[in-house]
Amino acid sequence: MIHTIEESRLFRIANPRSMAFFGASNSIKAMGTNLLMSVKSLGYEGALYPVHLREEEVLGYKAYKSVLDLPEIPDLAVIVLPTKVVNNTLEECGKKGIRQAIVVSGGFREVGGEGIVLEKELVRIADKYGIRILGPNCIGVANPSFKLNTTFVPHEGPGGYIGLASQSGSFVTQMFNYLYRYDLGFSTAFSVGNEAVIDLVECMEYLGACPQTKVIALYIEGIKNGRAFIETARSIVPHKPIVAFYIGGSEAGRKAGFSHTGSMAGPDRIYDGVFEQCGIIRARSVTELFDFCWVLGGLPRPKGKKVVIQTHSGGPGAAAADACGRVGLELPDLSRETVEKLAAFVPHTGSVSNPVDLTFSKNPDDFYGSIPQLLIKEKETDTLLVYFLTSPKIVERALTQMGIQEEAIDDLSRQWMEKHCQSVAGILEKYGKPVVGFTFMSLKDRSIKGLLSRGIPVFPDPDRAARAIAAMVEYSNYLSRI
Amino acid sequence: MIHTIEESRLFRIANPRSMAFFGASNSIKAMGTNLLMSVKSLGYEGALYPVHLREEEVLGYKAYKSVLDLPEIPDLAVIVLPTKVVNNTLEECGKKGIRQAIVVSGGFREVGGEGIVLEKELVRIADKYGIRILGPNCIGVANPSFKLNTTFVPHEGPGGYIGLASQSGSFVTQMFNYLYRYDLGFSTAFSVGNEAVIDLVECMEYLGACPQTKVIALYIEGIKNGRAFIETARSIVPHKPIVAFYIGGSEAGRKAGFSHTGSMAGPDRIYDGVFEQCGIIRARSVTELFDFCWVLGGLPRPKGKKVVIQTHSGGPGAAAADACGRVGLELPDLSRETVEKLAAFVPHTGSVSNPVDLTFSKNPDDFYGSIPQLLIKEKETDTLLVYFLTSPKIVERALTQMGIQEEAIDDLSRQWMEKHCQSVAGILEKYGKPVVGFTFMSLKDRSIKGLLSRGIPVFPDPDRAARAIAAMVEYSNYLSRI
C-alpha cells in the first residue's frame, strides 16, 4: 500500500523527466516513429534522446548511435525494436544506469516457444540492473497532464479523471477519441502488456494514490496474482471506486485472451466472487466500463436506489422506467407536496406520477430549472434521471417563426441553451444528488455538449443510463456495508 | 391479410393527395403550427388546406374558416386542436366527406375519467361516417418517400427501409436524426396513439405489404388484440422480419406505459411466448430495436451461428469474442487452407486463429481486401465481424511524414478511405454472407461514414454487434424451422 505516487515503481515511468527512445527513425513505416510522433505532438517537456545506428537526427531531435553516448542518464527508456534485439538493448540501458523502461515490442511470452525463453531473459536482465519494466508487448503510458503519450495514437482532449490499467493497449489508445466525445479523459492510463515485471496490481496501486484519478478502470483478461489483487483493491475501494471489465469468463473470451496476452483466465463466477469481496463494480462491456467510470468519478453518491424520471415524451420515459426496473432500481411515488407544486408546471395531458411526463412545456425554462429543482428536492429522490431532447433545429425554427433576424438566431439559440445547461449544472452542484441524462440526439449537438462539458453525464440510451445508476447504487451499498 | 398497401385503411393516411389541417396558425406556440411547418419543410406535394377561424393565411397557405368551405374533399384531416373541440371538428369532417383523419390531440382515454367518454364519442362519430382514424394522442405519420411528415420534428435524411409502428410518437420523431446518423431511415413510420380505430396490427399489416419496407420495427407498451396480432405477424414474418421492443414486462415499465397510453400490459413471459410463436425478434431496448432492424433489413441472412472476427487489436478482438460467446454465437477454427493463405498477410506477432489478429498491417490495403475476402470465403464463416479503427488522423500523419504536400493530404486520405470502403462493400455484395463492423471511433469519421453509406453496419461497440448478429441468426433459425 502506497500513499503517494512518488512511492510507486511506476512514478518515473508515468512522469519521466527525460527519455531514451529506441526504434524511432524518420520513416513513418516504423512503429517507433509513430510513437515518438505521439510523444512530440502532445508537447512532452522533458529531454528526448532517440537512439539510432545511422540517423544523425530523428524527427528533429539529435540522435545518438548508442545509449552509452547520451549526455545524461534518462529516467526512462522506450523500446520499440524487433524482438531479437530487445534484450541486448535493455542490457545496455542497464549499463548506462537507466532504471525504468517501457518495452513495446511483442514476440515474447504471448507467442509461446522461443518467446517464453526471451521473456525470461528479459526479466533476468531487469533483475540484474533493477530496471522497472512496463511490458513487453504493451503500448506504454498516457499521462496527459504531464504531456506524456508514448502510444501509437495521437492524444486528444485535455485528460480527465479516469485512471486505467489495461491488459490491452487498444483500450488505452482507441479510447482517447471515444472518451473525448463524452467530455471525459484519462488521468493516467497504463497498458501493462505481458506484465513481466510490473503487473496490473502495481498500476492499480499507483492510480489509487494518484490525486487526479477519481475512479479506476481495469481491463482484465486474466489476473496473475489473486491475493495481491484483492488486498490492493480492498485498500483502494473505500476511498476510490474501481470498475473492472473481465472478458475471460466466456469460452470465446478466454481463448481470445490467451492468444492475445497468454493470460490464464478463470471461470466467471470466481471473478464475480473476487470483485464482490473487494467492492469492485463489474462491467460487462467496454461501453459499461467507461459509463460506470463516468458516473462514479463525476457524480455525488446516491443514498439509495430510488430514481425519479423527468421526461417530455411518454415513450422514452416509459423505456427509461422499464430499463430502471430491469436493473433493480426503484421508481418511488412522489410526495403529495411535490405533486402539488408540480401541478403548476405540467399541462393537463401530462403526468405528475413517476416518470414525470410533461408532454410539452408551458415554458421551456421550467424543464431545465423549476421542475428538476422540485424533483431533486423531493425526499424520495436518490437520483434524478432526465430525458433531454431539445433539438437546436426546433429552437432555430421557433426563433425564425418569431421573426428573429437570421444573423441573430445562432447567437440566441446558443445563449438559450447555455443558460439551460448552466441551470441543470447548478442544480447538480447545489443539492449533492446525482443528476443523469439520456438522449437520442447526437452528443455533438450543442444542447448536449453544454451538459457534458458541465459534468452532467448524458447517455445515448436510457438502458446505459439505468445500468450506470445501478453501478453507483452498488458502490454506495458497498460503502455502507464496510 | 392484404397484398398491397392500397388495400389498407391506412393507404390515404400515409399517402394523402390533399390535407385539411386543424390547429395550425401563424404562432409558433401552437403545436399545430409546428406540425404544419414539418409538413411544409419536407416539401409535401399535395394540396394543403389550413382551417382557421380568424386567419386568412396560415404559413403561406390560404386558410378556410370551416372545413365545409374547402374547394375539394381532402384525403386526410390532421387535427391538432384542444381536446374539447376535437369531436365537433371530426363531425364536420365527416359531413364534408373526409374519410381519413389523424387525431394528434391528447386528453382522451389516456387521462381516464371524462377522457374515456370523449374517446367513445370520437369512435362513434368515426363509425357514423366511416372515418379511419389514426390516434388520438398520436404524432401522426412519416412517409419520407411521399414527402409526408405530420410530426413535430423536421425530418432529416432521405428515408430508408425500416417500417415502424409505435405506441410512442417520440420513437417516430426522435429517431429521425438518430437513424440518419447510422445512414438509416424510415420507409414509413406510424405513431398509433390510443388506437381508438386503427390499431398497431393494421399498421403492421400495411408495413408487411409496403415494398419499401424491408424490416418492421414495433414499439409496444401493450397489445390489445392478441389473436389478430399473432395471425398478422405469422403471415408477415416468413417474408419480412419483425423486431419488437416491449416495455410492459417490468413493473416500472408497465406502470409508466399505463400512464402514457393506458395500455394494459402482460407479463414478460407471455409476450416472450407470443413473439416466439410468430418468429418476432425481441429487442430489449430502443437501441437494440434499430440495431436489429439495421442488420435484418440490410444484410443477407447468415446460414448459422459461426462468426469469424478480424481485428487489428487484441483487446477489441477478445472483447468481441467474449461478446459473441455470451450471446450464443460460435467462433469456429479456420480451415487449414485459410490459415495457410492468411500467413502471407499476418505478421509474426499476430494470430491466425479466430479472432484473426493482425496486430499491425504489413500493407493496409490487405485489411480491407485480401484478408476479409479470404475470411468470407472460408467455409466455416457464417458472418464476418470486422473491427475498424483506421483513424483519419493517423492516415494524415502518415501522409505528412511521407512528404506529401499539405493541400493534397485531405484528397489523398479521402481517396484512400473511399477505396477501402468500396472494397469491403464489394466483398459483402459478392459473397452473399453478412459483414458486420464495430468501432470505437465516431460514426462521423470519414472512414466509418464511408462504410455506413455503402450498407455495412458498423456498431459503436462489439456487444451491440454481437447481439445484432445473434438476432439475424435467430431469424434464420425461425425461417428454417417453418
Q: What distances in angstroms separate CA B270 from CA A345, B246, B252, B253, B470, one per listed residue?
A: 38, 11, 17, 15, 22
Chain B residue numbers touching A331 (CB-CB < 8 A): 252, 255-256
Nearest to A397 among B37, B167, B348 (CB): B37
C-alpha span between A281 and A292 (Å, rounded)? 8
Chain B residue numbers touching A461 (CB-CB < 8 A): 285-287
Structure confidence at residue A267 (pLDDT): 79
Nearest to A168 among B83, B106, B315 (CB): B315
Q: What distances in angstroms separate CA B241 from CA A160, A398, B185, one per listed residue?
A: 44, 39, 16
| Closest chain B residue to the Cα of A26, Cα to Cα | B401
Q: Return the biggest CA–CA distance within chain A.
A: 81
C-alpha span between B383 and B467 (Å, rounded)? 13
Listed residue (B471, B446, B444, B468) closest to B457, CA to CA: B468
pLDDT per residue as tens digits for the range A457-471 = 999 999 999 999 999
Looking at the predicted structure, is the pLDDT value of residue B22 above 90?
yes
Looking at the predicted structure, is the pLDDT value of residue A446 above 60?
yes
* B260–A317 CB contact, under 8 Å: yes
Joined together, the cell numbers standing for residue A411 give 447567437
Chain A residue numbers touching B259 (CB-CB < 8 A): 314, 351, 353, 355, 357
HEC string of A71-126? CCCCCEEEECCCHHHHHHHHHHHHHHCCCEEEECCCCCHHHCCHHHHHHHHHHHHH
Chain B residue numbers touching A314 (CB-CB < 8 A): 168-170, 256, 259-261
| Closest chain A residue to the Cα of B257, Cα to Cα | A318
Q: Which of B29, B388, B390, B440 to mutate to test the interface with A (most CBs of A within 10 A)?
A: B440
Q: Which of A25, A37, A104, A170 to mutate to test the interface with B (most CBs of B within 10 A)?
A: A170
Q: What is the β-pairing status of strands A140-143 and A148-149?
A: antiparallel
Cα of A30 to nearest chain B Cα, Å:
11
Nearest to A286 among B111, B442, B461 (CB): B461
C-alpha span between A59 and A25 (Å, rounded)? 7
Confidence of residue B405 (pLDDT cuts 50, 70, 90): confident
Chain A residue numbers touching B266 (CB-CB < 8 A): none
C-beta neighbour count of B272 within 10 angstroms:
13
Enumerate residues 6+ apart whose C-beta is below 8 A from B49: B18, B19, B20, B21, B61, B62, B63, B64, B70, B74
Nearest to B349 among A111, A174, A462 (CB): A111
Structure confidence at residue A393 (pLDDT): 76
Cα of B348 to nearest chain A Cα, Å:
8
Q: What distances in angstroms separate CA B4 from CA B10, B230, B452, one per listed residue?
A: 11, 20, 30
* A107–B348 CB contact, under 8 Å: yes
Structure confidence at residue A288 (pLDDT): 98
Q: Specify the DSSP element, H or E, that contains B37.
A: helix B31-41
pLDDT per residue as tens digits for the range B113-139 = 999 999 999 999 999 999 999 999 999
Cα of A9 to nearest chain B Cα, Å:
25
What sign has the CA pseudo-torsion B337, B338, B339, B340? Answer: positive
pLDDT per residue as tens digits for the range B150-162 = 999 999 888 999 9
Burial of B312 (0-12, 13-18, 19+ CB in 10 A): buried
pLDDT per residue as tens digits for the range A69-116 = 999 999 999 999 999 999 999 999 999 999 999 999 999 998 889 999
Chain A residue numbers touching B181 (CB-CB < 8 A): 442
| Closest chain B residue to the Cα of A156, Cα to Cα | B393
Q: What is the mean pLDDT of residues A190-196?
A: 96
ipTM of predicted assembly, 2 dp: 0.93
* A221–B461 CB contact, under 8 Å: no
Chain B residue numbers touching A247 (CB-CB < 8 A): 318-319, 321-322
* B174–A316 CB contact, under 8 Å: yes
Confidence of residue B400 (pLDDT cuts 50, 70, 90): confident
Confidence of residue B402 (pLDDT cuts 50, 70, 90): confident
pLDDT per residue as tens digits for the range A121-154 = 999 999 999 999 999 999 999 999 999 999 999 9
Nearest to A256 among B28, B284, B355 (CB): B355
Tell me the one-letter amino acid at B404: I
How many CB pairs lie under 8 A apart between chains A and B?
A: 251
Structure confidence at residue A257 (pLDDT): 66
Structure confidence at residue B403 (pLDDT): 83
* A463–B355 CB contact, under 8 Å: no
Cα of B81 to nearest chain A Cα, Å:
13
C-alpha span between B233 and B279 (Å, rounded)? 8
* A442–B181 CB contact, under 8 Å: yes
Q: What is the mean pLDDT of residues A400-425?
A: 88
Nearest to B353 among A250, A259, A325 (CB): A259
Q: What is the mean pLDDT of residues A291-301?
A: 98
Looking at the predicted structure, is the pLDDT value of residue A234 above 60?
yes
HEC string of A433-477? CCEEEECCCCCCCHHHHHHHCCCCCEECCHHHHHHHHHHHHHHHH
Structure confidence at residue B8 (pLDDT): 96
Structure confidence at residue B410 (pLDDT): 87
| Closest chain B residue to the Cα of A261, Cα to Cα | B314
Q: Which of B105, B164, B170 to mutate to test the interface with A (most CBs of A within 10 A)?
A: B170
* B397–A154 CB contact, under 8 Å: yes
Mean pLDDT, chain A, whole residue set:
93
Q: Which of A322, A388, A402 to mutate to test the interface with B (most CBs of B within 10 A)?
A: A322
| Closest chain B residue to the Cα of A41, Cα to Cα | B397
Looking at the predicted structure, is the pLDDT value of residue A359 above 80?
no
**Above pLDDT 90, what percent of chain B?**
78
Cα of B316 to nearest chain A Cα, Å:
7
Within B97-175, residue ranges assigned H as helices are 114-129, 170-173
Looking at the predicted structure, is the pLDDT value of residue A333 above 60?
yes
- What are the beta bridge partners of residue B47? B18
Tell me the one-letter amino acid at A412: L
Looking at the predicted structure, is the pLDDT value of residue B197 above 80?
yes
Looking at the predicted structure, is the pLDDT value of residue B103 above 80?
yes
Nearest to B253 among A171, A322, A441 (CB): A322
* A318–B256 CB contact, under 8 Å: yes
Residues in chain B: 482
Nearest to A318 among B257, B314, B440 (CB): B257
Structure confidence at residue B259 (pLDDT): 60
Cα of B398 to nearest chain A Cα, Å:
6
Q: What is the mean pLDDT of residues B343-354?
A: 84
Q: What is the mean pLDDT of residues A446-463?
A: 95
Chain A residue numbers touching B320 (CB-CB < 8 A): 256
Structure confidence at residue A280 (pLDDT): 98
pLDDT per residue as tens digits for the range B249-262 = 667 766 776 565 55
Q: Which of A259, A447, A469 to mutate to test the interface with B (most CBs of B within 10 A)?
A: A259
Looking at the predicted structure, is the pLDDT value of residue A294 above 60?
yes
Cα of B263 to nearest chain A Cα, Å:
12
pTM for this model (two decimals): 0.95
Cα of B3 to nearest chain A Cα, Å:
31
* A259–B323 CB contact, under 8 Å: no
Q: What is the mean pLDDT of residues B187-203?
A: 97
* B360–A462 CB contact, under 8 Å: no
Confidence of residue B397 (pLDDT cuts 50, 70, 90): confident
* A219–B315 CB contact, under 8 Å: yes
Q: What is the mean pLDDT of residues A413-428?
A: 93
